Amino acid sequence: MLQGRVAFLTGAGAGIGRAGALALAQAGAHVVVSDLDGARAEGVAAEIAARGGRAEAMALDATDDAAVAAAIDGVAMRGRLDILHSHAGLQTSGGLAEASVADMDASWRLNVRAHFVAAKAAMPHMRGQGAGSIILTASNSGVQIDRGMIAYATTKHAVIAMTRQIAADHARYNVRCNALCPGFVDTAFNAGFERQMGGRAGLEAYVASAIPMGRWATVEEVAAAILYLASDQSAFMTGHALVLDGGESL
């Protein structure tokens, strides 16, 4: 499905990012696995190679504008860049009274600005080749309000708005941009929600009661959506917020 294509991923060393990297590689893409933790990125790339896929790894701080732009440019200038999945993110708990200005600034820098920088770096290369798929990770928190999570919900709404703007401006160049909006997936990323709900038992109770399907999503289910957005299966989809949350946001 993705034979001959090149994908660049941020935050791909664990959880959803790792599962997405494995799925894209299995579909034939050459995957550039980047993560703040270089050892984790190396581990994912090695896992892909062990399965017969093609990958390379790099340590990358997604909040370092110059480093992100240089990394994306470097990959594209070696040949091509077909897929960007800007995934790295931050979850900070607290409502208006509890969250600090620093919490909001940190959330904005990683959850919004980093996506902007990555998409801006990728776009000239994709426009030049006349095709590309940009996937920005938002959350189902971007289509609903999460009580007591002001920084997270605000930034995830912003990602969806930015996705739609990028899509509208660049559809004529055959470059698509869509937002991935997962609900609860059982990974370490849920630490903020777990604290907010008073611990693991409270979080498990929420998942069982508030999600109509009554369970967590698996990383493999989210990876299937990443593959869909990256591939020609979604060739006529752009500007869409693809929600995978077991009905939580209904």
Q: How many other C-beta atoms lie within 10 A of the C-beta of residue 77?
A: 10
- Catalytic, 152? Answer yes
Contact, 22 vs 192, CB < 8 A?
no
Query: Which residue carries 């940190």 as its tokens?
Result: 106
Query: How many whole angstroms separate alpha carbon 170 and alpha carbon 172?
Result: 5
Indicate the angle between helix axes 219-230 and 15-26, nearest 10 degrees: 50
From the candidates 152, 173, 206, 228, give the one annotated as an active-site residue.
Answer: 152
Query: How many whole angstroms separate alpha carbon 54 and alpha carbon 52?
Result: 7
Name the 3-class secondary structure at 85.
Answer: strand
DSSP 182: E
Residues involved in catalysis: 152
